Amino acid sequence: MLELPSTTWRTLAQRRPGKPLPSGLDAIWDAAGGWLKRLRVTRRQFLTRADRIIAMDKAFANMAEAKLREHSDQFRERFRRGRDTPQDLDRAFALIREVAFRQIGLKPFAVQVAGALALEADCIVEMATGEGKTLTATLPATVAGWRGKGCHIITANDYLAQRDAEEMSPIYRFCGLSVASIQQETEPPDRFAAYHADITYTTNKEVAADFLRDRLALGGIKALPEALLAKLVDGGGSAADRLVQRGLARAIVDEADSILVDEAVTPLIISGEAPNPQQVEAFQQAAHLATELQEDTHYRVNHRYREVDITPTGKRRLGELAAPLGGIWHGARRREELVTQALTARALYHRDKQYVVQEDEVVIVDEFTGRLMPDREWRDGLHQAVTAKEQLDIEPPKETYARVSFQRFFRMYRSLAGMTGTAAEAWREFWQVYHLPIVVIPTDRPCIRQVLPAQVYATGEGKWRAIVDEIRRLNETGRPVLVGTRSVRASERLSQMLTQAGLDHQVLNAVRHAEEAQVVARAGQAGRITVATNMAGRGTDIKLGQGVAELGGLHVIATERHEAGRIDRQLFGRCARQGDAGTAQAFEALDDELVQRHAKTFSAALRRRYGSTTSEISSTLTRTMFDRTQRRAERLALRQRKGVLRTDDWLDQYLGFAGSEV
């Protein structure tokens, strides 16, 4: 098997942030390149090399601590000067394994070393949930720290960033490196110090926001020579002295599918206040006018694309209703835009699903994680439209100073890698957008998870009753049950039904991350019932309680399919970790959101066939419909993400402020 050093792969798969996505024959040629990389960058290659590294174990295990530190200093000097070879990397990884064992009592297994080699080669590494990705990342992160340009380890939330930095810091410090973490409340001076540490743990939101703030501080300066000249002219008061980051050299992204794919279309925006009382009043008036219009007569709702269109009849009716208001309501285009947003808020954005109301404010709920996002707002007046619908005090839309999507931002790193439990399904997108190949690493112990056939029901009522019955049955045996829901509303509904059934349980939806991790970590205890949003607790290990393995292990129930099959697989991955016993099963209904959005006609025909029966209607036909519908939803989401990236490319070319060099 052809073996190339990591620097060669970085040259072959170099990301060019200013280069648009290929199309036509270029896209075919680019895809062929992706296939070639997949054939050459194989797990066999990394596993074979990992075995060679583990074979060096005895040499470092017999070293005195002083000698081990001396070797670490030598490696640091070699990597900093760029004189390292693949053999040096192997020996460095062997040393770091021994350091990890002495400092935190953990020594990476062969599969973890193989994953670390793939990360060092700038790949997206799929490692099953519970296989120790946090420890795996320390090997390439230490080497990146030795190179002297800094390494950002991107985690899912502030809690994980702080936890991982604290738990892994003994390894880095023994190797002569500094480590820090950044949370939302971190002040600018502390951010500056954290970014200038050798290894920095933070979230995608924080690192991208700091990048935007630095760009705003630079103003018209776009390149290093301009920054140096400005510093010479302005002295200590130059814009360069107000920056907190020192560049985007190296990033290792944990939960890469969530951050680089699912959240990729989310733009990060730096904005400021823009008071406008007339605009606030217009949102209130639009919310009132929306209640006077009738669906199908005055407007149509496209649930698949989440769009609302006002019909010609609706436009005439709207003109009649708006005539007495005067002002901006005289303009047909402006009034239709305002009312369209108000109708969108009414028809497509629902309380306890897309958002919650806390302290008289609308707070967005992340669609993929179920977590609250109090620092975010929907764009183009949608947030104000939802607030008006809830009859709350409206804050005017803020003025945008700078924006960047996560797709655009992460393509700026000179060296990028990621790890996740579910990546294989998105290999084309990882290659097309980031030019990163996928490497699937096997589990250290054989996975004995049993995924039971999905149970399909004609109505949601029948589905929820069946779920409660199944939870009761499992609870009577003493087995723990983890139930994944797609929304806050669904988790509350199930909680109410479990309470009525006399089943003690815990609900986890949009709470603080530290509490989330603690609740999920206890989900494997005997007799425990945990209801959580599908992605809650990513990065937290669920250990089985005493005697649970003999009962069959943790059982995971998915109450509804997600638009992305990866997220369903991620939920199922919460059970049967590290060779433990465990089972998983999905419950589906013909009126679930997935089929209502993407297979409305077919599902309606099936509902007419089965009526309102609450009995199970599982069959090859119904299960195949859900499979095909999910794939259709995935294709649509991919097209939308590519559309956002093309928009970013256009903005960079005509309106952008960030060049390709960082």
Locate 586 and state its tokens: 């999905």
pTM for the model: 0.84
Phi, psi of 152 (to 5 degrees): -100, 125
DSSP class of residue 202 equals E
Q: How far apart are CA 287 and CA 392, in angstroms?
A: 12
Q: Does residue 396 come out as left (phi exceeding 0), alpha (psi in the -120 to 50 range) or beta?
A: beta
Residue 656 resides in a domain? no
Q: Which tokens sit at 132?
A: 């120790």
pLDDT higher at 569 or 232: 569
109-113, 431-435, 497-501: which has the minimum mean pLDDT?
Answer: 431-435
Per cent of the chain over pLDDT 90 is 56
Could you tell me if 597 and 478 lie in one domain?
yes
Together in a domain, 203 and 107: yes
Whether residue 3 is contained in a domain is answered as no
The pLDDT of residue 196 is: 96
CA 72-109-257 angle, 5° bins: 95
Q: Minimal CA–CA distance to 534: which of 490, 567, 505, 494?
A: 567
For 416, the enclosing helix (H) or strand (E) is strand 415-420
How far is residue 211's CA from residue 658's CA, in Å, rounded to a whole number? Answer: 10
Does residue 643 belong to any structural domain of this protein? no
> Does residue 349 fall inside a structural domain?
yes
Residue 337 or 233, more confident: 337
**pLDDT tens digit string along 345-375?**
999 999 988 888 988 999 888 776 666 777 7
Residue 298 domain-assigned?
yes
Burial class (CB in 10 A: 0-12, 13-18, 19+), 272: exposed
Kindly report the CATH number assigned to the domain that includes residue 577. 3.40.50.300
Domain that holds residue 606: 450-632
Q: What is the mean pLDDT of the chain?
A: 86
CATH number at residue 340: 3.90.1440.10
Q: Say whether both 483 and 344 belong to one domain.
A: no
Shared domain check, 308 and 167 = no
Do the beta carbons of residue 75 and residue 146 sit within 8 Å? yes
Residues 472 and 572 in one domain: yes
Segment 392-413 mean pLDDT: 86
Strand partners, 272: 399
Residue 503 pLDDT exceeds 80: yes
Chain centroid to CA 479: how far?
A: 30
CA distance 643 to 540: 34
One domain, residues 427 and 501: no
Q: In this predicted model, what pLDDT tens digit does every residue of 204-260 receive, in sequence order?
A: 999 999 999 988 887 756 555 555 566 555 655 556 677 899 989 999 999 999 899
Quick one: tokens of 343? Answer: 């109708």
Provide the CA 308 distance to its chain's centre, in angstroms.
27
**What SS3 class is residue 343?**
helix
**Res 295: pLDDT:** 93
Nearest to 141 by CA among 249, 13, 38: 249
Tell me the C-alpha distance between 64 and 106, whole Å. Answer: 18
Pair 293, 418: CB distance under 8 Å: no
Q: What is the pLDDT of residue 118?
A: 96
**pLDDT recorded at residue 124:** 95
Long-range Cβ pairs for the range 471-476 (8 Å, 24+)? 471/498, 471/503, 471/529, 471/557, 472/501, 472/503, 474/555, 475/503, 475/527, 475/529
Contact assessment for residue 594 and residue 630, using Cβ atoms and an 8 Å cutoff: yes
Residue ending a domain, choose from 364, 397, 430: 397
Q: Is residue 42 part of a domain?
A: yes
Least confident of 165-169, 173-177, 200-204, 394-398: 394-398
User: Do 232 and 339 fall within a single domain?
Assistant: no
Question: Do residue 261 and residue 280 come from a single domain?
Answer: no
For 576, residues 6+ apart whose C-beta sits below 8 A from its C-beta are 447, 448, 449, 450, 553, 554, 582, 583, 584
Count of CB atoms within 10 A of residue 159's CB? 19
Measured in whole angstroms, the distance separating CA 18 from the mean position of its chain's CA atoms is 23
What does the pLDDT read at residue 659?
A: 40
Are 78 and 148 in the same domain?
A: yes
Q: What ranges in 573-619 are assigned the alpha helix state H? A: 593-598, 600-610
Q: What is the number of domains present in the chain?
A: 3
Spatial separation of the C-alpha atoms in residues 210 and 196, rounded to whole Å: 13
Average pLDDT over residues 586-600: 91
Where is 636: in which H helix or E strand? helix 620-654
d(CA 648, CA 632): 25
Average pLDDT of the residues in 285-310? 92
DSSP string, 522-574: GGGSTT-EEEEETTTTTT---PPPTTHHHHT-EEEEESS--SSHHHHHHHHTT
Question: How many angstroms separate the CA atoms of 158 and 181, rounded?
Answer: 9
- CA atoms of 121 and 495, how far apart (whole Å): 46
Residues 495, 556, single domain; the answer is yes
- Say if residue 170's pLDDT is above 50: yes
* b (16+ CB within 10 A) / e for 391-422: eeebbbbeeeebbbbbbbbbbbbbbbbbbbbb
* Contact of 152 with 251, CB cutoff 8 Å: yes
- More confident of the two residues 99 and 302: 99
Query: How far is Cα 615 from Cα 17, in angstroms, rounded to an integer?
Result: 53
Query: Is the domain of 304 the same as that of 414?
Result: no
Give the integer Cα–Cα distance in Å for 94 and 80.
Answer: 18
Query: Which of 175, 113, 165 is closest to 144 using CA atoms?
Result: 175
**Distance between first and last Cα of the chain:** 35
Pair (278, 180) in one structural domain: no
What local confidence, expressed as pLDDT, does residue 654 receive? 58
Does residue 503 belong to any structural domain of this protein?
A: yes
Q: What is the average pLDDT across 413-441?
A: 91
Is 644 contained in some domain?
no
